Structure 1
Amino acid sequence: MSAAPRAERPYVEPPLDARKDDYSLITLLGFAFLTYNSVTAAYRSIHDLWALSFVIVAYADLVSLFWCLRQFERSNQRHKERLKVAVWFLTALLTTMFSYKVASVMPWPVAVVVWCVGSATIIGGFYAFFVYREPPIHQTGNGNKH
């Protein structure tokens, strides 16, 4: 005996004023943990300008990325396109920075793999954000989607 297909309701985004505008405890704890680790790493690398610069730029990049993602969730369609560019750029910068750090301590064959994976991630993100478009879903008269 088969169950009757359940009618799916389309997702309707709640209005902005109905969403919680405050931050959850887990978000605040995560941000505090990130800040603490960044300050600790900066203190340990205070005499190495390159390492200190890496920590500062990575921290600023992550905070900017989280801010952009928060704005992306709350914005209209026109602003989302601009925020996509910022999110992609910030993730590409972070991927490049970490690929450089990891590849610098690896033997050259592994470093090549690290750079290839990082590059594929950046290119894949660009494709997913700016090139790929999902095909529209057509619904037939009997409720089936194809």
Structure 2
Amino acid sequence: MAIDIDRALALTLPGFTVDVERGRLRLFARVIGETDPIFTDVDAARAAGHRDLPVPPTFLFSLTLESAAPFASFDALDIDLRRVLHGEQRFDYTAMAYAGDTIAISERIVDVTVKRGGALELLTKQTEFRCGTELLATATNVAVVRNPEVAA
């Protein structure tokens, strides 16, 4: 079934907050192979001019999975996850986030592009990450959705 573009662009996803914990940052750094001590040792982070452990690049994406319904946009648009492929992810950073911060996350669909005569639809979601009123980063994610009703 084709994505209802008007419905997608009007979709309001519930925002939520996540507390950034030191232990989680240390685990993330270890998992990605980060060896710089500023990401695991508070004293090293402070000596480098940070107020606490800084959030490593791409960590913010993992916070989106803390939503009560991390795939709510697909559910709301009746998109079968078996027909979804991750197409693209981009982060635009404007400020640092640190352990101890409470991050407010808001997501919205900003574009739907139809390709290959309707066989593929590109669903673009934008996610904002804020600490208080300060914008920390904007993530743009493109999901490729195969429409089973149209032959490629």
What TM-score results when the alignment is normalised by the length of structure 2? 0.27
Structure of higher RCO (CA pairs closer than 8 Å, 6+ residues apart): 2
What TM-score results when the alignment is normalised by the length of structure 1? 0.27
Greater share of residues in strand: 2
Structure exhibiting the larger radius of gyration computed from Cα positions: 1
Greater share of residues in helix: 1
